[in-house]
Amino acid sequence: MGDFSITLDTSRIQRDLSDMQKQIPYATSTAVNSLAFDAMRLENSAMSEIFDHPRPFTTRATQVDKATKSDPTAVISLRDQQAKYLTPYETGGDHWVGARDGTGDLLVPVDGRTDAYGQIPRGLIKRLLARPDVFAGTVRGIRGIWQRPTARGARRNAAPAKLKLLYMFRANKAVDKHLDFEQRAAEMVQREGPKAIEAAILKTIRTAR
């Protein structure tokens, strides 16, 4: 039997492989962003499990800085405003009280108004202290926000009306819950990462055709 040879034209395969190589950064950023937004939704959902009746402001605390083809890194973080009071639940420490009280004490409701989430509405204390019948001070050893009785509605020969304690300052203390923000995201990425990469590659192949 005589010798013979077979010649294969691999130029098409080489071009396809070259095109796929060019698509790797896109597939990588797609997988990373998919994981990042899944982690963001998981973190936001966990807020309702960690805290009792959290405000929507808290359940939307997480954000994503997306990955790109040139920089395949996505950053999952707490938004600046929410990070102020949520960070102690991740790193430890006392509750965040802001600039409301120079002593760093907590202000808790007594007879004062709260919102649907059991918290003091934003800006309410400032508005109350602007009223002539409300003041901040210490009465009978209790430091808080007090309301003076008004003359309106007072009945003749009735016993003198008493001051009403609206909100009371209590000594701050360390938070008693843990956010597990970093651990939760890391575990999800480790668990779902291979599937996200596979889905991104398949999507890249389909769109490249």
Reported as a single tens digit per residue, the pLDDT across 26-76 is 888 999 999 999 999 999 999 999 999 899 999 999 999 999 989 999 999
Residues 152 and 188 in one domain: no
DSSP structure class, residue 174? B
The answer as to whether 1 is a domain residue is: no
Same domain, 111 and 164: yes
pLDDT at 67: 93
Let me know whether 84 and 150 are in one domain.
no
The predicted pLDDT at position 100 comes to 52
Q: Is residue 6 part of a domain?
A: no
Specify if 2 maps to a domain: no
Number of domains in the chain: 2
Please report whether residue 148 resides in a domain.
yes
82: nearest Cα among 58, 98, 106, 103: 58
Query: Same domain for 19 and 82?
Result: yes
pTM of the model: 0.76
- 88, 131: one domain: no
Return the pLDDT at 78: 95
188 and 88 belong to one structural domain? yes
Question: Is 111 in the same domain as 183?
Answer: no
139-172 pLDDT, tens digit each: 999 999 999 987 655 555 555 678 999 999 999 9
Q: What is the pLDDT of residue 182?
A: 94
Angle at 169 between CA 173 and CA 141, to 5 degrees: 120
Same domain, 142 and 43: no
Is the domain of 181 the same as that of 117? no
CA distance 197 to 206: 14
Residues 37 and 51 both lie in one domain: yes
Q: 182 and 163 in one domain?
A: no
Specify the higher pLDDT residue, 167 or 201: 167
- Looking at the domain assignment, is residue 99 inside a domain? no
- Does 121 reside within a domain? yes
User: What Cα–Cα distance (Å) separates residue 110 from each residue in 59, 144, 167, 208?
Assistant: 26, 10, 5, 64
Please determine, for residue 95, whether its predicted confidence score (pLDDT) is greater than 70.
yes
- Residue 3: inside a domain, yes or no? no
Distances from the Cα of 122 to the Cαs of 108, 167, 204, in angstroms? 14, 14, 48
% the chain with pLDDT above 90: 59
Both 181 and 86 in one domain: the answer is yes
Q: Which range marks the domain in which residue 146 is found?
A: 106-170
- Domain membership of residue 5 (yes or no) is no
